[in-house]
């Protein structure tokens, strides 16, 4: 727990495990205990010490992952002007992040935006004779 306390921001106010272990708990403390556990769980997820509760988080938005991969390949080409590459890379990053945090109802719309952005990126690759 001490190493976690160094990683997790002080704002999380994790409590000393030894004090918690010695405490005499009552049934009426259950709600507080659950709330505390949820705060610790979220702090650990945010710090990267625990897996995300959504097991599909890294598997969502296939089109957006493909867009990110294509943007990275295009960036390695070297023929695309810097301002165009920055715009395309920024768009790919923003859409990829949006796909990971999108609600299930909005995910198809984000996926479509990724598909459209990938088509634009492919057109830029053809224009500057880069392979994807």
Q: How many domains does the chain have?
A: 2
Q: Does 112 share its domain with 76?
A: yes
Q: Does 109 share its domain with 86?
A: yes
Q: Does 74 share its domain with 122?
A: yes
Q: What is the pLDDT of residues 83-112, one digit of tens each?
A: 999 999 999 999 988 888 888 889 899 999
Nearest to 50 by CA among 63, 40, 65: 40
Q: Does 70 share its domain with 100?
A: yes
Show the tokens assigned to 72: 């990275």
Four-CA torsion 36, 100, 65, 112, nearest 10 degrees: 170
Mean pLDDT comparison of 36-40, 77-81, 97-101, highest-scoring range: 77-81
Q: How far are the Cα atoms of 2, 7, 43, 107 from residue 71, in angstroms, in the given order?
A: 40, 32, 32, 20
Q: Does 66 share its domain with 120?
A: yes
Domain that holds residue 75: 62-127
Q: Is the pLDDT of residue 71 over 80?
A: yes
**What is the per-residue pLDDT for 120?**
95
């Amino acid at each position: 727990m001490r190493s976690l306390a160094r990683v997790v921001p002080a704002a999380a106010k994790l409590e000393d495990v030894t004090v918690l272990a010695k405490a005499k708990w009552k049934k009426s403390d259950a709600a507080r205990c659950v709330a505390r556990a949820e705060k610790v769980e979220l702090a650990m997820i945010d710090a990267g010490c625990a897996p995300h509760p959504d097991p599909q988080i890294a598997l969502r938005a296939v089109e957006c992952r493909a867009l990110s991969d294509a943007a990275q390949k295009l960036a390695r080409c070297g023929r695309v002007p810097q301002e165009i590459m920055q715009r395309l890379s920024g768009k790919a990053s923003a859409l990829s992040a949006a796909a990971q945090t999108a609600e299930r109802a909005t995910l198809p719309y984000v996926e479509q935006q990724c598909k459209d952005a990938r088509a634009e990126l492919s057109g830029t690759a053809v224009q500057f004779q880069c392979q994807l």
